[in-house]
Amino acid sequence: MTRDITIGQFLPGDSIIHRLDPRIKTLLALFYMVTLFVAQSAVGLAISALFILFVAVLAHIPFRMLLSGIRPLIIIIIIAGVFNMFYIPGHALWHFGILTITREGIGTAAFMGIRVIFLILGASMLTYTTSPILLTDGLDSMLSPLAKLHFPVHELSMMMTIALRFIPTLTEETQKIMQAQKARGADFESGNILRRAKALLPILIPLFVSAFRRADELALAMDCRCYRGGEGRTKLHILRLQKRDGLAVCTSSLLFVIVLTLNFVLPHAY
């Protein structure tokens, strides 16, 4: 069950995409999303789509992983699409009572759907290729100017690192506890909502107990290694921009310029 969640998963690798600076990668992921929204022409959208597929190939992300990242959101996309189909006024194709489907509606629905799918792919390309540690390291570095305003940047990124670090641990723990309670005949799948909620207690209580125990142990271990917050703390891996980061910025900007130009040259898709 929990194993099927692939959004936010990291796929270790050594491709050029993996090695990009996490700060640049985060910013470029946002930039890509902006590009997707700027694109008004079908060709522009297609080029943006090909771009992210190209990135996926470079990063050696299996096609199946891309699909599984979209799957949980497909229902939302379809519902949004249906609403678009009915609510956009224009050249009517089909009537049913008060419901009308227009050609423009179908066009918008398809365009929006594709846009959302590639939005997700763009975001997951960041998490697929960046380890959680690097991701928070990058955020830490990007937010560091705020420290002058007494914003607790280091504490925030440390909290994020710890939280991310414990997601797999707690997932595994949940699975283990579930198996153990199932071995004693616990039943999580039948009965009404109240019964099912009650059936979760044998999982939640041990999970909370162990989360508190882990937090306690971690705090102690950090204390033992003289952790005193961010002041005067140095880094083992200092983030430095490389040539490839410049290349990535140039490529993304090129995409943006092409998409923007196409908006003026070609007719809008909707």
Q: Are 111 and 98 in contact (CB under 8 A)?
A: no
For residues 24 and 12, give the distance between their C-alpha atoms in angstroms, rounded to a whole number: 18
For tokens 């909290």, what's the residue?
Answer: 159
Q: Are 66 and 2 in contact (CB under 8 A)?
A: no
Comparing CB distances to another protein, the nearer of 166 and 256 is 166
Comparing CB distances to another protein, the nearer of 10 and 31 is 10
Structure-token pair, residue 215: 């937090």
Question: In whole angstroms, how close is the CB of 8 to another protein at the nearest point?
Answer: 14
For residues 137 and 208, give the distance between their C-alpha atoms in angstroms, rounded to a whole number: 28
Please list every residue from 155 through 184 that binds another protein, using CB under 8 A.
176-177, 179-184
Q: Are 113 and 80 in contact (CB under 8 A)?
A: yes
Please list every residue from 196 through 255 that binds another protein, using CB under 8 A.
201-202, 205-206, 209-210
Phi, psi torsion values for 42, nearest 5 degrees: -60, -40
- Based on the shown chain and the rule CB under 8 A, indicate whether residue 148 belongs to the binding site for another protein: no
Interface size with another protein, residues (CB under 8 A): 22
* Per-residue contact flags (x/-) with another protein for residues 16 to 35, judged by CB under 8 A: --------------------
* Per-residue contact flags (x/-) with another protein for residues 54 to 83, judged by CB under 8 A: --------x-xx------------------
Nearest in space to 170 (alpha carbons), one of 199, 131, 222, 209: 209
Question: In whole angstroms, how close is the CB of 59 to another protein at the nearest point?
Answer: 12
Nearest in space to 140 (alpha carbons), one of 253, 233, 31, 8: 233
Question: In whole angstroms, how close is the CB of 69 to another protein at the nearest point?
Answer: 12
Binding site for another protein (CB under 8 A): 3, 11, 62, 64-65, 176-177, 179-187, 201-202, 205-206, 209-210
